[in-house]
């Protein structure tokens, strides 16, 4: 048995560029024959040389913004996509050469709630996927009952999935991944679209699953989630892992730094430019808040005391008003900003 | 941790997975009531236009029929048209249903969760066509009954020979469906192709007229289409008392076509499966 649950070496995935995107770069002739267009299409690199070593029994969080390559990495690990180059092994099996062994070692939940049949009941879904996972019928029946019980879906198990809430669908999708008791779980944005309560329950479930011995690789673009759940975190951006450490380790990297968090109403990029040029300001990232015309501005600096007066003076200009201000310890969000110069969520 | 997984992989478990795909598809099929329309109503409505045209052309004293009889050796023109349209409908429904089976799963988002399982992937295509085949056989039976009851068609041939023709018709019709299903996953303009194929079948295979009326070059093309043989053999077997020898050459051709299209369907499926893994095509919707 391999020491690592998941290993990737220089994993790369390139896609033929999507039609619309390609059209921008070259005038394309439209042909009626849709198969085997021969001219080489421009390629887009979604995953760009990723190296990961995930320990047995750990929760590993892959944290990154939209389009970073998280889902593409997961799809290569669960054999839905073939790497363009590089290598990946799951449970010691090569994802290309031993695809079937990899599939037997994994339970995967891809993002979105469409991975199960809405015209079947929860129980019918699980029974169906149990057969696909080659679980003997007698064992399967008990296993399905147990999972339904565990996920607190007993009362609704025989209703059609289309009548379920998003949280219930996600629990069926996770049950589907757990059916064969695979040692490794891949969860792609598991809490996406869930209400806060359902998301909290799901995070508790993930922790429980780890206690039961599962290795878990999860992706997320919520830094609180990655921080709270993960033993180690890989930060991924434009297909590359730009930092990999424990949550504490990551935060320590910018430990000397402090973050000034400003809440303002009305924002002018000119003020941003002015503040950036103030000596002692390392980075500045504005983020629009839910409320109309309110912004949260994060400033990283080595010494907040020295620059506070200047900051306050420069902010109250041109209709921009300071509403609130905090000096806080850096979060993973700030780590991300520090590494990439942009916010995790736009 | 309970360290071993519950999966027990082997031939039997792959067959069980195939059976699970079949019963899944059947359950979902029965939950959409639209099948009633395709089963009972379509077979009646679809050939109507052709039948009425034929009736008009046959003239008040049926003199037109004499010529038809001379060209086809059949006097039962309604049955003649009904069989042609039945086979056409069968192929058409297979193109839409079997042909779009994977595409629809792709749209629903379930294709990827199926393909993550350690199961023989062709089982998903094969399995979803079985309930479709059962419903089509029912459709053929119901149509035959309806034509007898409402149009007074006399199917005076042999039931067993007719069933034999249907049996031989399955491989080429479904082989074409499998080929389609695989192409449709990676190609966008799929609908255009269904229209093309069913148009070709409609014109070249003589669904409402004997092929003999076609110009030579069109007859040459018709000879390459299995539907031509299915329709001809079915008419021979069902409409008038005929011997096995009368349909044997057509059955032989159907066996060859069947082998060809099933092999092609499987090959294209394997090609698509690999291509989709490289381009990510199965996840796009
Ligand atoms: N099948 C595909 N064909 C072409 N491009 C693709 C394909 N799948 C993904 N991409 C592109 O690759 C990039 C990475 O996508 P990916 O889905 O891995 O990102 P992600 O990190 O999961 O982001 P998100 O938070 O949006 O889910 C994106 O720019 C996406 O448009
Ligand atoms: Mg994603």
* Chain A residue with the nearest C-alpha to that of B278: A82
Is the distance from the beta carbon of residue A284 to the nearest atom of ligand 1 less than 6 Å? Answer: no
Cβ contact A133–B108 (<8 Å): no
Backbone angles phi, psi at A266, to 5 degrees: 80, 135
Distance from Cα B147 to the centre of ligand 1, integer Å:
54
Per-residue pLDDT tens digits for B46-67: 888 888 888 787 777 777 777 7
Distance of CA A273 to the CA centre of its chain: 31
Per-residue pLDDT tens digits for A47-95: 999 999 999 999 999 999 889 999 999 999 999 999 999 999 999 999 9
Q: What share of chain B is helix, strand, coil (3-state, %, to 5)?
A: 80, 0, 20
Cβ contact B118–A212 (<8 Å): no
**Beta strands per DSSP E along A79-226:** 85-90, 93-94, 106-109, 184-188, 215-220
Q: Given CB atoms, is A96 within the 8 Å cutoff of chain B?
A: no
| Mean pLDDT, residues B28-47 | 80
The whole-number pLDDT of residue A108 equals 96
* Residue (of A293, A4, A74, A84) closest to B116 by Cα position: A74
The whole-number pLDDT of residue B184 equals 84
Residue nearest to atom 1 of ligand 1 (CA): B280
> Residue A315 has what DSSP assignment?
H
Statement: residue A141 has pLDDT above 90: yes
**Range name among A65-74, A171-180, B28-37, B173-182 with the lowest pLDDT average:** B28-37
Asked if B13 and A134 touch (Cβ cutoff 8 Å), the reply is yes
Statement: residue B27 has pLDDT above 80: yes
Statement: residue A26 has pLDDT above 50: no
> Residue A29 has what DSSP assignment?
P
pLDDT band at A40 (very low <50, low <70, confident <90, very high): low
Asked if B242 and B157 touch (Cβ cutoff 8 Å), the reply is yes
Backbone angles phi, psi at B189, to 5 degrees: -85, 45
| Mean pLDDT, residues A209-218 | 96
Read off the tokens for A342. Answer: 């942009």
For the whole prediction, is pTM greater than 0.80?
yes
Cα three-residue angle A191-A193-A196, rounded to 5 degrees = 65
The whole-number pLDDT of residue A276 equals 87
- List Cβ neighbours of A178 (8 Å cut-off, separation of 6 or more): A107, A147, A185, A209
Helix (H/G/I), strand (E/B), else coil: A305: helix
**Ligand 2 is an ion; residues with CB less than 5 A from it:** A 71, 111
pLDDT band at A178 (very low <50, low <70, confident <90, very high): very high
| Mean pLDDT, residues B79-98 | 89
Statement: residue B1 has pLDDT above 90: no
Q: Given CB atoms, is A44 within the 8 Å cutoff of chain B?
A: no
pLDDT band at A27 (very low <50, low <70, confident <90, very high): very low
The whole-number pLDDT of residue A28 equals 45
Task: Considering only residues B141 and A3, tell me which one the structure prediction assigns the higher pLDDT.
Answer: B141
Q: What is the CA radius of gyration of chain B?
A: 21
The whole-number pLDDT of residue A318 equals 78
Residue nearest to atom 28 of ligand 1 (CA): A67
The whole-number pLDDT of residue A315 equals 86
Helix (H/G/I), strand (E/B), else coil: A45: strand
* Residue (of B77, B88, B82) closest to B44 by Cα position: B82
Read off the tokens for A328. Answer: 């806080």
Statement: residue B130 has pLDDT above 80: yes
* Ligand 1, atom nearest to A75 Cα: 18
Ligand in closest contact with the CA of A75? 1
> Cβ–Cβ contacts within 10 Å for residue B25, how many?
19
The whole-number pLDDT of residue A278 equals 86
Read off the tokens for A14. Answer: 């390139």
Is the distance from the beta carbon of residue A66 to the nearest atom of ligand 1 less than 6 Å? Answer: yes
The whole-number pLDDT of residue B133 equals 92
Which residue has 């849709």 as its token pair? A34
Statement: residue A22 has pLDDT above 70: no
> Cβ–Cβ contacts within 10 Å for residue B56, how many?
10
> Cβ–Cβ contacts within 10 Å for residue A33, how many?
9
pLDDT band at A127 (very low <50, low <70, confident <90, very high): very high
Chain A environment of B3 (Cβ under 8 Å): 183, 213
| Nearest-CA distance B196 → chain A (Å) | 12
Task: Considering only residues B207 and B268, tell me which one the structure prediction assigns the higher pLDDT.
Answer: B268
Cβ contact B7–A131 (<8 Å): no
| Mean pLDDT, residues B230-243 | 90
Ligand in closest contact with the CA of A72? 1
Statement: residue B186 has pLDDT above 90: no
> Cβ–Cβ contacts within 10 Å for residue B228, how many?
23
Of B19, B27, B116, the CB nearest to A78: B116
The whole-number pLDDT of residue B45 equals 82
The whole-number pLDDT of residue B42 equals 78
- The Cα B186–Cα B285 span in angstroms is 11
Q: Given CB atoms, is A4 within the 8 Å cutoff of chain B?
A: no
pLDDT band at B261 (very low <50, low <70, confident <90, very high): very high
Asked if B264 and B182 touch (Cβ cutoff 8 Å), the reply is no
Buried b (16+ CB within 10 A) or exposed e, B179-198: bbbbbbbbbeebeebbeebb
The whole-number pLDDT of residue B235 equals 92
Is the distance from the beta carbon of residue A67 to the nearest atom of ligand 1 less than 6 Å? Answer: yes
Statement: residue A217 has pLDDT above 80: yes
> Cβ–Cβ contacts within 10 Å for residue B88, how many?
21
Average pLDDT, chain A: 88
DSSP for A166-177? HHHHHHHHHHHH
- The Cα A233–Cα A59 span in angstroms is 9
């Amino acid at each position: 048995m391999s020491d690592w649950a998941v290993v990737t070496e220089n994993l790369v995935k390139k896609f033929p560029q999507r039609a619309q995107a390609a059209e921008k770069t070259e005038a394309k002739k439209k042909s009626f024959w849709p198969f085997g267009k021969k001219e080489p299409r421009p390629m887009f690199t979604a995953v760009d040389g990723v190296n990961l070593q995930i320990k047995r029994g750990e929760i590993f969080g892959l944290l990154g913004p939209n389009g970073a390559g998280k889902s593409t990495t997961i799809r290569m690990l669960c054999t839905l996509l073939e790497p363009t180059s590089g290598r990946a092994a799951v449970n010691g099996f090569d994802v290309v050469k031993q695809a079937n062994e990899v599939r037997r070692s994994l339970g995967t939940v891809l993002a979105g709630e469409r991975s199960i049949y809405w015209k079947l009941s929860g129980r019918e879904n699980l029974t169906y996927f149990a057969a696909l996972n080659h679980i003997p019928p007698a064992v399967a029946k008990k296993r399905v009952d147990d999972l339904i019980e565990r996920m607190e879906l007993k009362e609704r198990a025989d209703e059609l999935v289309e009548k379920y809430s998003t949280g219930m669908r996600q629990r069926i999708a996770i049950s589907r991944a757990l059916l064969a008791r695979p040692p490794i779980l891949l969860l792609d944005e598991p809490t996406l679209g869930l209400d806060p309560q359902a998301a909290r329950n799901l995070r508790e479930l993930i922790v429980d699953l780890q206690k039961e011995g599962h290795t878990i690789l999860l992706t997320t673009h919520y830094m609180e989630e990655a921080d709270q759940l993960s033993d180690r975190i890989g930060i991924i951006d434009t297909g590359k892992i730009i930092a990999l450490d424990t949550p504490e380790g990551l935060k320590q990297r910018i430990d000397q730094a402090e973050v000034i968090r400003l809440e303002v109403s009305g924002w002018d990029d000119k003020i941003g430019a002015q503040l950036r040029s103030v000596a002692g300001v390392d980075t500045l990232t504005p983020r629009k808040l839910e409320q109309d015309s309110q912004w949260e501005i994060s400033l990283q600096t080595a010494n907040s005391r020295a620059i506070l007066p200047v900051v306050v003076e420069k902010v109250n200009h041109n209709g921009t008003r300071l509403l609130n201000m905090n000096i806080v310890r850096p979060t993973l969000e700030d780590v991300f900003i520090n590494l990439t110069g942009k916010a995790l969520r736009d | 941790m309970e360290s071993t997984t519950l999966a027990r992989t082997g031939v039997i478990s792959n067959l069980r997975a195939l059976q699970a795909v079949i019963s899944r598809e059947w359950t979902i099929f029965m939950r959409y009531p639209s099948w009633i329309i395709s089963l009972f109503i379509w077979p009646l409505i679809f050939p109507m236009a052709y039948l009425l045209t034929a009736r008009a052309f046959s003239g008040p004293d049926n003199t037109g029929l004499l010529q038809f009889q001379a060209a086809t050796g059949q006097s039962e023109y309604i049955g003649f048209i009904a069989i042609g349209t039945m086979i056409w409908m069968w192929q058409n429904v297979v193109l839409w249903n079997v042909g779009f089976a994977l595409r629809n799963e792709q749209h629903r988002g379930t294709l990827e969760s199926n393909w993550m399982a350690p199961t023989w992937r062709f089982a998903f295509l094969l399995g979803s066509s079985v309930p479709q085949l059962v419903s089509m056989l029912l459709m053929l039976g119901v149509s035959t009954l309806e034509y007898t009851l409402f149009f007074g068609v006399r199917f005076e041939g042999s039931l067993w020979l007719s069933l034999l023709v249907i049996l031989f018709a399955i491989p080429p019709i479904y082989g074409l469906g499998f080929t389609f299903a695989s192409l449709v996953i990676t190609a966008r303009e799929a609908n255009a192709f269904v229209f093309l194929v069913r148009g070709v079948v409609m014109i070249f295979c003589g669904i409402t007229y004997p092929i003999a009326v076609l110009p030579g070059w069109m007859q040459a093309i018709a000879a390459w289409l299995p539907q031509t043989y299915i329709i001809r053999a079915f008419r021979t077997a069902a409409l008038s008392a005929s011997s096995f020898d009368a349909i044997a050459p057509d059955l032989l051709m159907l066996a060859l076509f069947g082998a060809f299209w099933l092999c092609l369907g499987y090959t294209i499926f394997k090609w698509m499966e690999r291509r989709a893994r490289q381009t990510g095509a199965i996840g796009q919707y």
